[in-house]
Structure 1
């Protein structure tokens, strides 16, 4: 029996190990029902993301196959759909936990202070994930941010974090983000001071052990100096965190360090009363010293990793000039509210998003729109937070403030990417959770095995402590976040923003890239080049009718028709009963007429006779022009020919991708005649023409069924379903006014050559991740047996442990040089 016959509520269209896509024809009657289904499924902890394209009955589920096997997911989906189809509202509680809250899910990103290693991040993930109203948690030690999805409020999340010994900070606004960065700098200085204090106390302890004979006085000297290092300034934080984690039933690197240094100190106390006994004061202080040295080096490296994000945050000014009647007042940007009037003088940065009320100036919007050429701004034009004003004075009104500005959205996007985890890291984290208890067992086994061999307690104890200290679960925890943090910063520097960290992993596996024509391979700045009137109506009136309808569409070709009418100073008329068929055409009522504009295949479906313009249409199409047919009252009225320039570097991109073994295909709604000249110029094969959105999706699914890993490049406006169907989606265009939700990558400067750079960066990132994991696993695999064999003393073990994490970060920083 086939898979499509086993389930009555859906048909499986595509499935991978961690993702499955189905079609449920009887379910998606409207958007509201699709939304309810998303909420229902996401209440399962193992289900990470649900995407509904309700217009085409499509449901895509991303899940953790280790927690929820695919067979169980399919059975669950069959049951949920069967019950949901009958009583969607009443059955929600049947599949949710008893104490789940109802209401909208929240996605909260915030800052965390007090983390000292990757184990802290894993601990906080565990604590937050235990709450029944949490669906997804990801904490990034490198960026010191967390992303929590679910039904907890921000105050509740903050309380959980603070109750476990850490600090939580809101980073909704760029001002709050700046504060978190400043706290990071302060923490680096504090770590340096702590390290200096430890060195000042540790050096005399080591010198005393080297140059003075054992005596009660020397031991007392060492005990007094080592006490503040182990239990106060140096080790207090370690002991506190290990205790907090023990209360939660977990163990981590802090636990190993606390046990190692604490027991070394306590085992030395008897020597204060009997000088024949062995002391470990030097080892106790050196353990803390080397650990703090390693953490200081990590902090230095982390500051380099978040440098690119810091540059974005610093684009926003601290203050702005508020206009109050005839007076002006300097205020903090935190005080700006929507509707406030502001004045922007030459050279100043735009403080918030807004509209120009008066003035004329050029504005540099490179970071937001990607344009390397300053834009002229005058009354009615939009301004974006962080842009730089030129030589003129602008008066503006605030339309978006705080976390709602475009610049804040870009920073939030990077935060989400850095806090997301690759699939490989999720597996590593589960292994790391068992590493610390295993190390403690091996340490105890080492101690007793040496005793059984007849060794002194001191020797057995030193070997056991070495086993505790040589292991490094933190290096495993840093393997992926260190690499993804650097690569997302590198991407942002290149004006490429990553919405989904998992896309880095998927992009490295891509073997096929599909390009839409309009807006992806072409610049998306189409213009009306020719026009053929087939009626007795005046040209101006026909253009006026066409533009009045197209004004309601977001399609790039529609904008060209509207701009053509405006260039002729034609006023737009009111359009009613507007209806759009994606990638096909539009229909509306204007001035008593039924107006249709669309491509050839759509009009043929509507049984419109277009044979009279066949020869002209063929001639224009062979020139690479895109054709738009205008129909008035079910009769062909006009034919418009639009031209659009091929993007700079498109041909070179195809050559670069082909060298990497990547297959490239064009998938377009245009006719083959008009698409072929563009394909020939760029050097790409045409996969399908006259393709409807459903046809595009089916084509992508067919490739995936054959084992292909597919990326889709589009403009993000009209090809959203196809972008959602691809393994990785890339949107070419600025970060404003595009369907960002459809994109894994956003190329804000519209430089299509960046596709090859992204592919290369993704592959390099995956290589670095694998190198990090190889080092971390290899280090623990080799070092632990050596320590158990008694070949390492505790001081050397603690130094090696500290440097192992630093080596992972240093290796990840190599991505900055790519």
Structure 2
């Protein structure tokens, strides 16, 4: 099965998204399809052997919409120096078009520039430049490679088109409304020229409105083309409601104009041109504001994209060359000057500086960098000039992964959206039915045609499935984007929604509550070895271990300059320690369980063990030749933010647990230091997931916070897994939320952001449901039945435009979310 994401064009409301999903899901070979109205994209999982893109595209087009295949080519604009005549520009075009992978080349002699479209998988930009140079000309970059994001360009073009159409509609709708108001509100005595007075010249009065309304109908033609196309396909959408409503008003007004022409001047008082023109204009205004606001919901991704420089300075053969970002390869030596952005990920080889990583991690303080330090593409270099070796480029960089993760998250729906999706699928047909039933009922009640038409048009125009469809995805887009700004990467709507329900947080001790870098503090001896000999033997046996305490022992021995030997054999005993052979001596290093399982007498160390554990030390027993040799203790520094973060979690009403493999005394000491009341000690790595499950079985909604490979099963088992971003890739991949700074304060921040986002979604859904629940009966004349006013189609259109804009605007309030300390 293949998973692809395609932009969908022509969608205006949730009913459109439901229709596209329905059309694609019916295809043989499609496993699942999800359509997001906010991002205007479709995720489809299908079998490429049974189904092609063209088949999917045809199904979407048959439903009345469009499907855009992501472009396989890139465009680059280059300055071409040395051209003197038309033959020169033709030569450049000719030599570049010969290259396999160049789709198009257009060179302008007057400007000295060329635009080249090429497939990066077949031909490199450097090869294209080399071909130009071989032809006798000099290619130069124009502010680096001007490759534009296809999707952003399409949306910008669409927004410009919407604005131009809106301006056209408004220019012609305003005079129609002014003219119509003269007879709608005769008491206002609105002046209009005598030659178009409805009393003196009713035909001119009607024809002027007709000719002014036609440009508005043309400007809003999409409502009619899309609306009727989807209606005939059996999947009506919001465009259908607008098209039928305004179309009915326009056609009746056209009929009335004909009657006026035939001499029935009373029909001059029964024109609805202003309803058609103004409603179309108001709906277009609403759609334009909605589209502009939706663009703001993805500001977080735009900011991340802007962090990437377009070029990099690469050192080759002692020379510095400025090359496009795509040309940087793993292993290249890249030079970064003060104030410039690091173009890709790498390791510093020369120079000392600081880096501003705030846009990636949310951490405002600059981070020191020296030879051996890792740097991240997109971070800003401080005062120093540095050279670094590229280790990750292109889509493998941390920034690219963050952007991809945020984009994926913004496209995933939350479970809370399911009800709105179901309602949206049936909404338009139901509204059409209500409009017909209401119109027929009032007609049977003896009302004239004008009254019945007003009811029919008002019901169709006031109904707003858009508000329902946008309620959830817009809030999720803004919420996940805000999280990215704060260094909290949330992997989708479901993770965001589940996080707000969390009532229990389980914190792994090492690397989460503590720094994860313990140092050796104590050595107690019980055998024939002196301290140096015991430490050398222990360190030699531990050289193959990844355990933090083992690393602390090895580092201490190396600091003292002790000679370490390579063990003849080495075996890790999960959850216990290691079993090694060093210089012919069998060495056991690990916890008390390892000693007991190998019948090592540890009685001599009991008093020391109790005292060191009580002081919060982590213990490691060392046995050599079947006898206890030493007890070594290490201390791991508690992160400065841990205690405050745990206090904040408690204030949010969350129960906090600490899970560790340490013995009870050591665990209780650390827990007491940071304010954790519930401790799970002596837990083997493979048992962490079981402890999480036990809490879940007790009815708790559990979040697990960890950073190591051994935390991955527990992260998956938990309702929400939160990985410390400075931890292992396995932990990060297993988690639902990634905390980029490695700061425990991000855990309560993630919970608070989730709660704020879900609260925002509920507000949006409440408004969308209430608006339609009250608005549709009002438009159908229920309030009029009890002596209230009759709703004009114009006010109905204004209300509909306001409803969808208000939902998006409310979602944008999340951008102001701040973490409370």
TM-score calculated relative to the size of structure 1? 0.79
Which segments of 5 or more consecutive residues in structure 1 lack a partner in the other structure? 1-104
Please name the residue that 1:798 is paired with: 797
Q: CA deviation at 1:184?
A: 3.8
Instruction: Judge which range, 315-324 or 244-253, deviates more.
Output: 244-253
Please name the residue that 2:221 is paired with: 236
C-alpha distance in 1 between matches for 2:30 and 2:582:
50
Greater Cα radius of gyration, structure 1 or 2:
2
Please name the residue that 2:385 is paired with: 393
SS in 1 for 2:259: coil
Please name the residue that 1:814 is paired with: 813
C-alpha distance in 1 between matches for 2:324 and 2:155:
22
Where in structure 2 are the equivalents of 1:319-330 lying within 5 Å? 319-330=311-322
May I ask how many residue pairs the two structures share in their alignment? 709
Indicate if the aligned counterparts of 2:12 and 2:466 stay in contact, CA closer than 8 A: no
Indicate if the aligned counterparts of 1:109 and 1:416 stay in contact, CA closer than 8 A: no
Please name the residue that 1:209 is paired with: 180
Shift in CA distance, 692/562, structure 1 to aligned 2, threshold 3 Å: same
C-alpha distance in 2 between matches for 1:628 and 1:263:
84
Shift in CA distance, 523/148, structure 1 to aligned 2, threshold 3 Å: farther
Please name the residue that 1:673 is paired with: 665
Q: CA deviation at 1:786?
A: 1.2
Answering whether residue 254 of structure 2 is matched by residue 269 of structure 1, we say: yes
Q: CA deviation at 1:672?
A: 0.7
Please point out which of 207, 214, 217 is paired with 1:220. 207
C-alpha distance in 1 between matches for 2:460 and 2:335:
62
Where in structure 2 are the equivalents of 1:274-353 lying within 5 Å? 274-275=259-260, 276=264, 277=267, 278-353=270-345
Answering whether residue 170 of structure 2 is matched by residue 199 of structure 1, we say: yes
Where in structure 2 are the equivalents of 1:569-580 lying within 5 Å? none
Indicate if the aligned counterparts of 1:443 and 1:467 stay in contact, CA closer than 8 A: yes
Instruction: Judge which range, 624-633 or 751-760, deviates more.
Output: 624-633
CA offset digits 1:572-598 (Å, max 9, x no partner): 876798665655435566777666543
Answering whether residue 607 of structure 2 is matched by residue 618 of structure 1, we say: no
C-alpha distance in 2 between matches for 1:183 and 1:440:
33
Cα RMSD (Å)? 3.3
SS in 1 for 2:714: helix
Please point out which of 66, 74, 78 is paired with 1:165. 66
Indicate if the aligned counterparts of 1:171 and 1:180 stay in contact, CA closer than 8 A: no
C-alpha distance in 2 between matches for 1:729 and 1:807:
34
Please name the residue that 1:354 is paired with: 346
Please point out which of 356, 359, 374 is paired with 1:364. 356
Q: CA deviation at 1:694?
A: 4.5
Shift in CA distance, 579/502, structure 1 to aligned 2, threshold 3 Å: farther
C-alpha distance in 1 between matches for 2:687 and 2:500:
26
C-alpha distance in 2 between matches for 1:492 and 1:150:
30
Shift in CA distance, 442/694, structure 1 to aligned 2, threshold 3 Å: same
Where in structure 2 are the equivalents of 1:222-621 lying within 5 Å? 222-230=209-217, 232=218, 234-243=219-228, 245-246=230-231, 249-275=234-260, 276=264, 277=267, 278-368=270-360, 372-532=364-524, 534=527, 536=529, 538-539=533-534, 541-550=536-545, 553=546, 555-561=547-553, 563-564=555-556, 567-568=559-560, 583-586=575-578, 596-621=588-613
Shift in CA distance, 161/355, structure 1 to aligned 2, threshold 3 Å: farther
C-alpha distance in 2 between matches for 1:362 and 1:648:
22
Please name the residue that 1:42 is paired with: none
Q: CA deviation at 1:149?
A: 4.2
Q: CA deviation at 1:501?
A: 2.0
CA offset digits 1:9-51 (Å, max 9, x no partner): xxxxxxxxxxxxxxxxxxxxxxxxxxxxxxxxxxxxxxxxxxx
C-alpha distance in 2 between matches for 1:201 and 1:127:
38
C-alpha distance in 2 between matches for 1:648 and 1:157:
57
Q: CA deviation at 1:200?
A: 0.8
SS in 2 for 1:641: strand
Q: CA deviation at 1:752?
A: 1.3
CA offset digits 1:506-535 (Å, max 9, x no partner): 222222222222122212232222334556
Q: CA deviation at 1:448?
A: 1.7
Q: CA deviation at 1:801?
A: 1.0
Q: CA deviation at 1:456?
A: 2.5
Indicate if the aligned counterparts of 1:111 and 1:146 stay in contact, CA closer than 8 A: yes
Shift in CA distance, 406/129, structure 1 to aligned 2, threshold 3 Å: farther
Instruction: Judge which range, 651-660 or 796-805, deviates more.
Output: 651-660
Where in structure 2 are the equivalents of 1:19-98 lying within 5 Å? none
SS in 2 for 1:267: helix
C-alpha distance in 2 between matches for 1:175 and 1:566:
52
C-alpha distance in 1 between matches for 2:59 and 2:625:
65
Please point out which of 119, 129, 138 is paired with 2:25. 129
C-alpha distance in 2 between matches for 1:161 and 1:577:
63
Q: CA deviation at 1:478?
A: 1.4
Indicate if the aligned counterparts of 1:161 and 1:168 stay in contact, CA closer than 8 A: no
Indicate if the aligned counterparts of 2:315 and 2:321 stay in contact, CA closer than 8 A: yes
C-alpha distance in 2 between matches for 1:245 and 1:577:
72
Answering whether residue 733 of structure 2 is matched by residue 741 of structure 1, we say: yes
TM-score calculated relative to the size of structure 2? 0.79
C-alpha distance in 1 between matches for 2:394 and 2:21:
27
Answering whether residue 745 of structure 2 is matched by residue 753 of structure 1, we say: yes
